[in-house]
Amino acid sequence: MKMSHQFGLTLRQAPSDAEVASHKLLVRAGFIRQLGAGIYSLMPLGKRSIDKIEDMMREEINAIGGQEIFMPVVHPADIWQETGRWYSIGDEMSRFQDKNGHDMVLAMTHEEVVTDLARREVQSYKQLPMLVYHIQTKWRDDPRPRAGLLRVREFTMKDSYSLDKDDAGLDQQYRAHYQAYFNIFRRAGIPIIAVKSDVGMMGGSMAHEYMYLTPAGEDTLVLCDECGYSANRQIARFQKPEPNKEKVADLEKVATPNTSTIGSLAELLGVPKSKTAKAVFMMAKFAEGEKQTEKFVFAVVRGDMDVNETKVINAIKAQELRPANEKEIAASGAVAGYASPIGLKDVLVVVDDLIPASANLVAGANESGFHLKNVNYGRDFEADIVADIVAAEEGFACPECGSPLRTSRGVEVGNIFKLGTRYSADMGATFLDENGKEQPIVMGSYGIGSGRLLACIAEDNNDVHGLMWPITTSPYHVHLLSLRGGEDKANVVYEELLAAGLEVLYDDRDESPGVKFNDADLIGIPMRVTVSERSLKEGGAELKLRKAQDKEIVALNELLVRIQTLKAELEAEIAATAASEIFRG
């Protein structure tokens, strides 16, 4: 491609709202352009890189038995109503009516559609297992799109769906995807870890997320360097301390003026935060058929720990949580800063499983300026639900080996879910087993966002001058620069490289050397070839790797072979990272 006709100019300045490197550089280098909040167009450079990423996905999923299909982006609402997700998913789902007044949905994901196909196409156990996939547009109306392609509203995903007759078959396909995803990410040129995660709106029994570690990430990961334990903080466990055994003491009301925080309370009474009970007020939304209800949730954890909202949602089986407002807190009978479940009615009380084991805690008296000493679970109050609802923190003990945990930020670039019969049972997607008995199809769902993966590659491969693409995902193999006095020879080199099957971006523009070199560094193609009067006098063309400082002069009659050799070496470097991953179920 000649840059004189390239659609998409490089820019000297990044967008004013760009915060992360990938957003700044992908816009400046002409890979993407923003249309609206969380909505982007792929320019020719970006489309070429995305196509390579998606071809890798096809190759790896085909290798484990995948069959490519293509499902619609607009769905009739009735299939989402069959599974209940029409009612349980909030404003992120975009609903509308067609001209005939039928309720419709813009696809967030395709579990309902593939299940509808399965119930039409699968009749017998003899047809199973099956694996189908597609690469298609999704729409999730995220209220806070940010960071370029890292968090968008419209995006493209490869999602695959496994169909099996039993859990053993699902286990096999799940593990096959577990490895295939590592293969895709390594070929793309970025380091990824897999962590256990919450199943969220997808449902099912197990999920893993594939995370690119970066400070730009919005997810917090909890990791153990000693044994390899890894989980999203949403579901991460840890070894909780064993409370000291104490004789249950009498309840005592004490004055605690101006102590509405755990820190000030512990300081006033001279007790550690671990001897206090922290109250957190939330409103939970529940789906009851086509109706939605809200309940006031009173969560209690030890004062030295924090509530994990995802664990609370899972414990009470709610759709979502939000902080309770002052009016709602007052209506419950609780007093903010001085609250406890003691004496409250018509509230859903959820306590962490450490609370029943912790004797003689300090808790609120539900009266401003007063607390209660020696509060004990069972004697003074009880909960509707006792569960692990505490967030894991840096330094807490690993649940597997007891070593200190660490936390890191990450971006989710892929996920895999064991759906089981979550969708097939609701939608009647069944098969006849060996005994002629009808059984629900056992399903799995597996997704990778190609745009987000592109952004993570850019985030991981850049320097102060611009992007530095791995050879496998670069839009072109070679960036050819023609400078004054080298135009004719550069044209010949361009045709020779194209004839040999190399992908070449040819800067034939009438621009200064500085502009051309800066644009080459910004775009970040792995190999740069410069043909100029100076290079020809020195014996040929100047060849430089984007990631290296050194340059070399290569005779024109040797240039093709040298470039092919370098390309093979760059590809071999990435191939050398391939490995079988240990599955951590």
Q: Do 337 and 260 meet the contact criterion of CB atoms below 8 Å apart?
A: yes
Cβ contact 401:226 at 8 Å: yes
How far apart (Å, rounded) are the C-alpha atoms in residues 565 and 556?
A: 15
Task: Kindly tell me if the per-residue pLDDT of 74 is higher than 90.
Answer: yes
User: What is the rounded CA–CA span in Å between residue 333 and residue 368?
Assistant: 12
User: Mind giving me the DSSP string for 466-496?
Assistant: EE---TTT-S-SEEEEE-TT-HHHHHHHHHH
Q: Cα(418)–Cα(33) distance, rounded to whole angstroms?
A: 36
More confident residue, 225 or 319: 225
On average, the pLDDT of the chain sits at 95
Alpha-helical segments (H) within 220-304: 262-269
* Lookup: tokens for 552: 């070399």
State the pLDDT at residue 305. 95
pTM: 0.90
pLDDT of the residue at 346: 87
Give pLDDT tens digits for 21-37: 999 999 999 999 999 99
Residue 290 pLDDT exceeds 80 = no
> Which helix (H) or strand (E) segment is 195 a member of?
strand 193-196
User: What domains are there in the chain, each with its CATH number?
Assistant: 18-236+407-459 (3.30.930.10), 252-387 (3.90.960.10), 476-575 (3.40.50.800)
Both structure tokens of 233: 């903080």
* Statement: residue 92 has pLDDT above 80: yes
pLDDT at 175: 96
Quick one: DSSP state of residue 307?
Answer: B
| Residue 456 pLDDT grade (very low, low, confident, very high; cuts 50, 70, 90) | very high
Beta-sheet pairing, 130-139 with 67-68: parallel
Token pair listed for 228: 């390899």
Separation between Cα atoms, residue 37 and residue 405, nearest integer Å: 37
How high is the pLDDT of residue 199? 85
> Measuring CA to CA, which residue among 447, 577, 442, 449 is closest to residue 172?
442
How far is it, in rounded angstroms, from Cα 545 to Cα 541? 13
**Per-residue confidence at 521, pLDDT binned at 50, 70, 90?**
very high
When mean pLDDT is compared across 79-93, 118-132, 174-188, the lowest value belongs to 79-93
- 469-505, pLDDT tens digit by residue? 999 999 999 999 999 999 999 999 999 999 999 999 9
Give the mean model confidence (pLDDT) for residues 77-87: 94
Question: Nearest to residue 439, comparing CAs of 450, 449, 429?
Answer: 429
What is the per-residue pLDDT for 577? 87
Whether residue 584 is predicted with pLDDT greater than 90 in this model: the reply is no
**pLDDT tens, position by position, 359-382:** 999 999 999 999 999 999 999 999
178-to-64, 184, 446, 460, 544 alpha-carbon distances in Å: 11, 10, 9, 22, 37
186: number of Cβ within 10 Å: 20
- Please say if the pLDDT value at position 343 is more than 80: yes
Model confidence pLDDT, tens digit, residues 418-442 = 999 999 999 999 999 999 999 999 9
Rounded-to-integer distance, Cα 398 and Cα 370, Å: 37
Q: Exposure of 4 by Cβ count < 10 A (0-12 exposed, 13-18 middle, 19+ buried)?
A: exposed
How far apart CA 2 and CA 325 sit, in angstroms, is: 60
Range list of β-strands (E), 303-369: 320-323, 348-352, 361-367
Residue-level pLDDT at 261: 93
CA 514 – CA 569 distance, rounded (Å): 29
Which residues lie closer than 8 Å to 448 by C-beta, 6 or more apart?
57, 157, 158, 159, 181, 184, 210, 413, 414
Over residues 278-303, the mean pLDDT reads: 90
Question: What is the mean pLDDT of the segment spanning 555-565?
Answer: 97
CA distance 29 to 48: 14
- pLDDT of 585 > 80? The answer is no
pLDDT of 130 higher than 90: yes
**How far is residue 336 from each of residues 258, 325, 332, 341, 510, measured CA to CA in Å?**
12, 10, 11, 12, 69
Closest CA to 48 of 499, 501, 507, 474: 474
For the chain, what percent of residues have pLDDT higher than 90? Answer: 91
Q: Assess contact for 524 and 466: CB atoms under 8 A.
A: yes
Residue 109 C-alpha from the chain's centroid: 14
Chain centroid, CA 247 distance in Å: 47
